[in-house]
Amino acid sequence: DVKVTQSSRYLVKRTGEKVFLECVQDMDHENMFWYRQDPGLGLRLIYFSYDVKMKEKGDIPEGYSVSREKKERFSLILESASTNQTSMYLCASSFSGQGARGNTIYFGEGSWLTVV
Amino acid sequence: GQNIDQPTEMTATEGAIVQINCTYQTSGFNGLFWYQQHAGEAPTFLSYNVLDGLEEKGRFSSFLSRSKGYSYLLLKELQMKDSASYLCAGGYSGNTPLVFGKGTRLSVIA
């Protein structure tokens, strides 16, 4: 079974703090993704990566950065957390390529971040 | 960009059949995914359609019409545990990430 593990399930941080959300996958997937999910807005893509040390901006990258130093690990960084970043954050991964194999993404359990 | 449209909410009765529709933009389209997401949990993969027609998998079936830019997820013999959000997602060419709809929240009532 594909395993995507997010290091923290629930976090409470203060405004202005630097926040790290870690994600590890064990299926040797090339692609990794960070989404946030908010009621009424659905899943929104923050950043993604198709290879080590590579990153691409998604639809809402402002206020976030990412790091991919190893293939299995993709970190989301909030440089200075703000209350509007309170959300559920989902990490996901997939193989590269087209079709079902390349496009089927597998999600981690999610990290609920509250910024106060 | 590519838009994926699906209804926001639906309600159906236990034991009944429900159809959740999804429309998408056809330009560069590769395939259509359905994911299920229970409240507070991560989305899980349900189905993938690339060819026209109906794919059946137990109580769940998914249909695709490439020419019409239309898909639906059919759930039969509804159970209370089917209460969840159902996400439609389109795969497009150019090695781009999946495009997700906002999800349809299905409530199954007794």
Tell whether A110 is within 8 A of chain B (Cβ). yes
Across the beta sheet with A73-78, what order do the strands follow?
A: A4-6, A19-25, A73-78, A65-70
Query: Band of the pLDDT at B62, cuts 50, 70, 90?
Result: very high
Residue A32: per-residue pLDDT: 96
**Token pair for A108:** 């981690």
Residue B89: per-residue pLDDT: 95
Residue B84: per-residue pLDDT: 98
Residue A109: closest CA among chain B residues belongs to which residue?
A: B42
Across the A:B interface, residue pairs with CB atoms under 8 Å apart total 52
Residue B109: per-residue pLDDT: 97
Please report where in the chains the tokens 């991560």 appear, as a residue: B42
Please check whether residue B23 is in contact with residue B70, taking contact to mean a CB–CB distance below 8 angstroms.
Answer: yes
Tell whether B94 is within 8 A of chain A (Cβ). no
Please give the Cα distance from B86 to B106 (Å, whole number): 7
Q: Is B2 or B109 the better-scoring residue by pLDDT?
A: B109
Q: Which residues of B touch A105 (CB under 8 A)?
A: 45, 97-98
**Sign of the dihedral through C-alpha A100, B94, B87, A25:** positive
Return the SS3 of B82. Answer: helix
Query: Band of the pLDDT at B94, cuts 50, 70, 90?
Result: confident
Q: Judge: B30–A110 Cβ closer than 8 Å, yes or no.
A: no
Residue B98: closest CA among chain A residues belongs to which residue?
A: A103
Mean pLDDT computed over every residue of chain B: 94
Please give the Cα distance from B87 to A13 (Å, whole number): 30
Cα A14 from chain centroid (whole Å):
20
Q: Judge: A104–B50 Cβ closer than 8 Å, yes or no.
A: no
State yes or no: pLDDT of A2 exceeds 90.
no
Q: Judge: A104–B45 Cβ closer than 8 Å, yes or no.
A: yes
Please check whether residue B106 is in contact with residue B14, taking contact to mean a CB–CB distance below 8 angstroms.
Answer: no
What pLDDT, in 10s, does the model give residues A52-104?
Answer: 999 999 999 999 999 999 999 999 999 999 999 999 999 999 988 766 777 78
Query: Band of the pLDDT at A40, cuts 50, 70, 90?
Result: confident
Which member of A40, A98, A110 has the closest CB to residue B30?
Answer: A98
Query: Band of the pLDDT at B1, cuts 50, 70, 90?
Result: low
